[in-house]
Structure 1
Amino acid sequence: MTAIAASAPAIAGTEIAGTFDIALRLVPEVRAAGDTRARMTFTKTFQGPLAGTSDGEMLTAGKPEQGAAGYVAVERFDGTLAGRRGSFVLQHSGTMLHGRDSLLVLVSPGSGTGELAGIAGTMRIDTRGGGHRYTFDYDLPPMTR
Structure 2
Amino acid sequence: MSHARGTFDVTITPVPPVADAPAGAPGRMTLSKIFHGDIEGTAEGEMLATLVGQSGAYVALERVHGMVGDRAGSFALAHRGVMNEGAQELSISIVPGSGTGELAGISGTFHLTIEGGEHRYDLEYSLPTP
TM-score relative to the length of structure 2: 0.94
CA contact (8 A) 2:81 2:89 kept: yes
Q: Greater strand percent: which structure? A: 2
1:75 CA displacement: 0.2
- Which one of 18, 35, 45 corresponds to residue 56 of structure 1? 45
Q: Distance in 1 between matches of 2:115 and 2:56?
A: 18
Which residue type is aligned with residue 113 of structure 2? D
Q: Are 2:19 and 1:32 aligned?
A: no
Deviates more, 1:78-87 or 1:122-131: 122-131
Q: Distance in 2 between matches of 1:26 and 1:38?
A: 7
Which residue type is aligned with residue 44 of structure 1? K
Which residue type is aligned with residue 32 of structure 1? P
Q: Distance in 2 between matches of 1:26 and 1:96?
A: 20
Structure 1 stretches of 4+ moved >6 Å: none
* 3-state DSSP of counterpart to 1:69: strand
What residue ranges of structure 2 are gaps of 5+ in the alignment? none
Give 1 or 2 for the bigger CA radius of gyration.
1
Q: Distance in 2 between matches of 1:32 and 1:59?
A: 15
Which residue type is aligned with residue 125 of structure 1? L
Q: Distance in 2 between matches of 1:19 and 1:130?
A: 11
TM-score relative to the length of structure 1: 0.85
**CA RMSD of superposed structures (Å):** 1.0
What residue ranges of structure 1 are gaps of 5+ in the alignment? 1-12
CA contact (8 A) 1:71 1:93 kept: yes
Look up the match of 2:94: 107
Q: Note the alpha carbon deviations across 1:22-74, whole angstroms, 9 max, x for none.
A: 001111014333x15100001000000011000000011122xx211100000
